[in-house]
Amino acid sequence: MEAVDMSQGEASSSPLLTARAACLMDAESGRILWEKNAHSPLSPASMTKMMTALLVMEQVASKKLSLREQVRVSHRASAVRGSSMRLRIGERITVRALLTGLLIASGNDAAIALAEHIAGSVPSFVKRMNVKAVRLGLVNTQFRNPHGLSVQGHHATAFDMCIIARELTRHTEVLRITSRKQAIIQRSGRSNHRLRNTNTLLGMYPGVDGLKTGYTPRAKYCLCATAPHPKLGRLIAVVMGTPTKKRRNEEAAALLAYADTFT
C-alpha cells in the first residue's frame, strides 16, 4: 500500500484530529492519503462487526449461505449485553434481517446469532475471523469475539479497519443496508421492528453511504465512514478513540473532505 508523504505541500492543510488513531484510504488503489497512528493496535469496539459482516457476505457470495435463510436465535445471542436488535431466544429470523441489525443497529445479538449459524459456535467463528485477518495481512489485528465488546487481546488498527472496509464495500448488498438511516425488520409472530442507524454522519456529509460505528468505554467513539468521490473513487475514513460522538463525526468528515487536496 502506498502512503503519501505528508512532510511537504499538503501538510499545512492536514486535518487536526483528537482521535487516538485515524486513516484515510483511497479504496480503488489502496493508497493511504492521511494517517495518524494508523498501525497502533487499539480497541475497535463495534467496528469489529465489519469483519463479521465480511465473513457473512463471503459465505453468501460462495453460495454456502442465503440471505433468505432462517436462523434460530440461541440463548447466548438473546442474552448478550450491549447494543442489540432485541432478539428473543427461539425466534427465527433471516440472515438478511440479522445483517441489517448488525450493521444498522450494531446488534451484538445479531453478531452472535450469525456467528453460531455460520460456524456452529462463537469460538469457531472467531477463529475464522482471525484466519481472514491473516489472509488480508492484518498483522496488528486480533479478534476475541464477533461484536467488539472490549476484552483483553481484542484489538485492531485504523489501517487494518480500512482494509476490512475495503473488502466489505465490494459487496453491494452491504452498502444498500448501511446507506439507510433506518430499516423495518419483519419478525415472525411479533410486530415489525424499526432499527435506526447508529451512523449519524449519514445525511450530514454529502455522499456518505456507510459504514460502521463503534463505542465502548475503553475504545471511546470510533467510526469507519465511506463515500464515493467523483475523482478518486471510493474513500474510506477511520477514526478511533475520539472523545465524543460529535467529534467522531466531525473528524471523519474532515478526513473525507481532505481527499479533495489530491484532486
Which domains does the chain possess? 9-262 (3.40.710.10)
Give the DSSP letter string of 38-51.
TTS-B--GGGGHHH
The answer to whether the peptide bond before residue 211 is cis (omega within 30 degrees of 0) is yes
pTM of the model: 0.93
pLDDT of 13 > 80? The answer is: no
User: Is 212 assigned to a binding site?
Assistant: yes
Instruction: Give the catalytic positions in this structure.
Output: 46, 49, 106
Q: What pLDDT is stored for residue 263 in this prediction?
A: 77
pLDDT of residue 190: 72
pLDDT of 106-128, one tens digit each? 999 999 999 999 999 999 999 99
What share of the chain has pLDDT > 70, as a percent? 95
What is the number of other CB atoms lying within 10 angstroms of the CB of residue 133?
20
pLDDT band at 259 (very low <50, low <70, confident <90, very high): very high
Cα separation, 246 vs 204, in Å, equals 11
CA 117/CA 125 separation, integer angstroms: 9
pLDDT of residue 193: 86
d(CA 182, CA 195): 5
How deeply is 120 buried, as exposed, middle or buried, from its count of CB atoms within 10 A (0-12, 13-18, 19+)? exposed
Side-by-side strand order, sheet with 233-242: 31-36, 21-26, 233-242, 220-229, 210-216
- What pLDDT score does 165 carry? 99
Residue 153 has pLDDT above 70, yes or no: yes
Structure confidence at residue 2 (pLDDT) = 38
